[in-house]
Amino acid sequence: MGSFSIWHWLIVLVIILLIFGTKKLRNVGQDLGGAVKGFKDGLKDGEAAASPEIPTTTANSTNPASPTEGRTIEGQATKQ
């Protein structure tokens, strides 16, 4: 009772096609696809711009301002 069968979805699709028409739905699909593509391109541009700003350090480098930068500290937290 809670789930719809394929026939329910086909009837809904036919009603939507009758109300909006195929041309309008095609335009909406193209606009949505263009927006998604623009969003992905924007993310790629943002990542490319942010990449050079990240400093690269090695584990053996010594920096007096930040002696633990670039090092991994391993351990286990225990409750006393």
Q: Where are the domains of the chain?
A: 21-51
* Stated pTM of the model: 0.41
Would you say residue 51 has pLDDT above 90?
no
What pLDDT, in 10s, does the model give residues 6-43?
999 999 999 998 998 888 888 988 999 999 999 999 88
The answer for residues whose C-beta is within 8 angstroms of residue 71's C-beta and 6 or more apart is 59
